[in-house]
Amino acid sequence: MKHASLLRFGGAAAIAVGVLNLLVGLTHFLMPREQLRGAAGITTAFFESLARSASVFRLHYWLVVALSLLFFAVVAAFLSLLREHRSGPVCWASALGFFGAALAAIDFASIAVEAPRLAKLFVNAEPAARPLLLVFGVPHLDPCFFAYGLMGVFALIVNLSALRHRLLPRSLGVIGVAGGMLFILVFLGSLSRTVWLIDFAVALGGIVIGPLWYIWTGFVLRNRAGE
């Protein structure tokens, strides 16, 4: 695919990801607290809450799936943007970005389907069988949001490289670096079971920095395609 076409398509994808990122951040706070598995894990309250209502939960998870699939185009656009400055770290970070997006899409799609089904099974199960269901939880590939950590490393490195070679406005690059760090904070918050850390990263990154960076980047990429 030609350079301009990659930038144009990646720019449009980035704008869409910015909108989806905002919706993901908002639905995170609209979900009942019991359904936020990132820090608390799978508990009795998780299953009972999900059995009562799973509409926002499903919406949140499918939004992440859509965002993750469009993220592929953003990674490809940055590879094209940095085509004359591709270094080992940039190629490595791009591979991590691709893998992180794929992992997030598969994991969130699986949970969006399986978690509500298992919640219904849990509340209808005999009391003696419930501890066993809790032990197995919801089968998925990424129990601690490792995908977000990988995508955060991608954002850090490509923004630093684009800043170094003056391919992005300085303010935009700095915002991108901050966004990458917030992605990594989501992973660290889940790994350490720290609820407030995830909430902080989602509030600042998902509702403010993420949408701003993606949408601004989208217009910059499309303008460069025109050049």
Q: What does the pLDDT profile of the chain (227 residues) look like in tens digits?
A: 577 888 999 999 999 999 999 999 999 999 998 888 766 667 888 889 999 999 999 999 999 999 999 999 999 999 999 988 888 899 999 999 999 999 999 999 999 999 999 999 988 888 888 888 887 778 778 878 899 999 999 999 999 999 999 999 999 999 999 999 999 999 998 888 888 888 899 899 989 999 999 999 999 999 987 76
Residues 6+ apart with CB under 8 A from 117: none
What is the domain extent for residue 55?
A: 3-226
For residue 40, the model assigns a pLDDT of: 62
Cα–Cα distance, 53 to 75 (Å, whole number) = 35
Long-range contacts at 159-167 (CB < 8 A, ≥ 24 apart): 161/82, 161/85, 161/87, 161/89, 161/90, 162/78, 162/81, 162/82, 164/85, 165/82, 165/85, 167/81, 167/82, 167/85
Structure tokens that stand for 219 in this block: 């217009």
The predicted model scores a pTM of 0.91
Q: How many domains are there within the chain?
A: 1
For residue 99, the model assigns a pLDDT of: 96
For residue 55, the model assigns a pLDDT of: 95
For residue 2, the model assigns a pLDDT of: 76
For residue 192, the model assigns a pLDDT of: 85
Give the chain's end-to-end CA distance (angstroms, integer): 17
Task: Report which DSSP code applies to 169.
Answer: -
For residue 182, the model assigns a pLDDT of: 93
Separation in Å, CA 12 to CA 8, 32, 176, 178, 202:
6, 32, 17, 22, 23
Structure tokens that stand for 149 in this block: 């950590």
For residue 8, the model assigns a pLDDT of: 93
For residue 196, the model assigns a pLDDT of: 87
Given a contact cutoff of 8 angstroms between Cβ atoms, the answer to whether 152 and 66 are in contact is no
